[in-house]
Amino acid sequence: MPVLLSAPLAADLLPVPGVRLGVSEAGIRKLHRKDLTLIELAEGARVAGVFTLNRFCAAPVQVCRAHLQAGDIRALVINTGVANAGTGEPGLVAARATCAAVAAHLGLQASQVLPFSTGVILEPLPVEKLIAGLPAAQEALAENRWHDAAHAIMTTDTVAKVASRQVQIGGRTVTLTGMSKGAGMIRPNMATMLGFLATDAAVAQPLLEMLVREAADLSFNSITVDGDTSTNDSFILIATGQAGNPEIGDAASADYAALRNAVVELSTWLAQAIVRDGEGATKFITLQIEGGLDKEECRKVGYAIGHSPLVKTAFFASDPNLGRILAAIGYAGIADLDVSRLRVWLARAGEEVLVAEKGGRAASYQEEAGARVMAASEITIRVDLARGSAAATLWSCDFSYEYVKINADYRS
């Protein structure tokens, strides 16, 4: 069960004018499940994206990057079940054939289509099944199909991850709706996650590209489930411009600040939902690292803790074996770290416990207090490096028996 994350209701989701979605059963890996999503964008929509840094990036990622450079994106197509990664030149052929088929159905050019895949790596994409599923997805196109689409992009997710927000910009009500998928092979830069966020705000292309990078860094690039960077991760930001607000073209404007805050807030919710639904997760862990010389070293420490299987299994068991946290901080890669100045706290709602200071166990620390905090579903690990004023916040989860079971049986 996900950690304090409930299944979304279709009635809570808001359509974004200029975005239509449709899903179908293509039988790409399993029969009788929705596994193909088609998204059609109105003319004039603007699109920006960021993608995995894994050098073995999937064929659809390579095609997306090329098509985004050309601009004028009018459609997205997403399949689950097969990642089309580690598939060489045949994988690229399949991704391009997918785009050509979508373009033929919608009256577009193939370069106006972005393809996305998620699922098992090293297996060929059954592109003939995908193409055969397109007519049904096209027939289902409607603005109110976010709930269906969020379910159709799932793999090992246990709940769909989708939400809406509204904000006032330029005297107009601007709508944002986004969805994400991911539960395992999750770490920053990015992970086996897909994220799609659409708004009807009017915003200049350069600002949209700046915003998608900033939002990703503050959300999807600040999570980890198991430390594995995937081959397929993508985060796409769409602005249809149909809200009627004056186009946002100045990064220093109040309108841009309002849009940025809304995009970052929704992106963060979607990213945290991935961690809350991490494979087998029972604890949601916030890592607050402060007192660094710069943000990057704070992130290093946060990820060292968040990736550590020893830390994660201790939190699953609510076992205050907290020397594992100190060990992770020590190998995070800060060569001149003065551990005698460092302090570490554990916290849950309404309670914070000082665990370590002056190079060792805090004099006031009682193991019973540590166990009490670790029994909570939401826990914060706060670390003060005592080196400067920089800080970073990351999100992670524990490791349970279920994580091993899910990944041992993933293909069966």
Phi, psi of 297 (to 5 degrees): -70, -30
Cα 59 from Cα 52, distance rounded (Å): 12
Per the structure, the complete domain to which residue 337 belongs is given by: 284-408
One-letter amino acid at 346 equals L
Is there a domain that residue 3 lies in? no
Whichever domain contains 160, its CATH number is 3.60.70.12
- Residue 159 tokens read as 């709940």
Q: According to the model, what pLDDT value does residue 188 have? A: 44
Is there a domain that residue 188 lies in? yes
The pLDDT tens digits along the chain (412 residues) read: 688 889 899 999 999 999 999 999 999 988 999 999 999 999 999 999 999 888 888 999 999 999 999 999 999 999 999 999 999 999 999 999 999 999 999 999 999 999 999 988 889 999 999 999 999 999 999 999 999 999 999 988 889 999 999 999 999 999 999 999 986 544 444 335 899 999 999 999 999 999 999 999 999 989 887 555 567 889 999 999 999 999 999 999 999 999 999 999 999 999 999 999 877 789 999 999 999 999 999 999 999 999 999 999 999 999 999 999 999 999 999 999 999 999 999 999 999 999 999 999 999 999 999 999 999 999 999 999 999 999 999 999 998 888 777 667 655 5
- Residue 177 tokens read as 């709706």
Q: According to the model, what pLDDT value does residue 190 have? A: 37
Residues 163, 117, single domain; the answer is yes
Of the three residues 276, 295, 312, the one that is the final residue of a domain is: 276
Question: Which of 209, 203, 159, 162 has the alpha carbon at shortest distance from 18?
Answer: 203
Choose, from 98, 175, 192, 229, the residue flagged as catalytic. Answer: 192
Is there a domain that residue 260 lies in? yes
Number of domains in the chain: 2
Whichever domain contains 317, its CATH number is 3.10.20.340
Give me the residues paired with residue 197 across strands: 178, 237
Q: According to the model, what pLDDT value does residue 52 have? A: 85
Residues 136, 109, single domain; the answer is yes
Residues 202, 265, single domain; the answer is yes
- Quick one: angle between helices 88-106 and 127-139, nearest 10? 20
Q: According to the model, what pLDDT value does residue 267 have? A: 97
149, 23 Cβ separation under 8 angstroms: yes
Residues 229, 300, single domain; the answer is no
Residues 291, 270, single domain; the answer is no
Computed over its alpha carbons, how large is the radius of gyration of the chain? 22
Is there a domain that residue 5 lies in? no
Number of H helices, E strands in the chain: 11, 15
Residues 218, 118, single domain; the answer is yes
Residues 79, 117, single domain; the answer is yes
Of the three residues 241, 276, 311, the one that is the final residue of a domain is: 276
Residues 208, 294, single domain; the answer is no
| Lateral strand order in the sheet of 46-51 | 46-51, 234-239, 194-199, 172-181, 161-169
Cα 151 from Cα 130, distance rounded (Å): 17
Is there a domain that residue 269 lies in? yes
Q: What share of the chain is helix, strand, coil (3-state, %, to 5)?
A: 35, 25, 40
Is there a domain that residue 4 lies in? no
Residues 335, 191, single domain; the answer is no
Residues 22, 64, single domain; the answer is yes
37 catalytic per annotation: no
- Residue 322 tokens read as 């907290």
Of the three residues 233, 257, 276, the one that is the final residue of a domain is: 276
Is there a domain that residue 394 lies in? yes
Residues 272, 140, single domain; the answer is yes
Residues 311, 217, single domain; the answer is no
Q: According to the model, what pLDDT value does residue 186 have? A: 45
pTM score above 0.75 = yes
Is there a domain that residue 317 lies in? yes
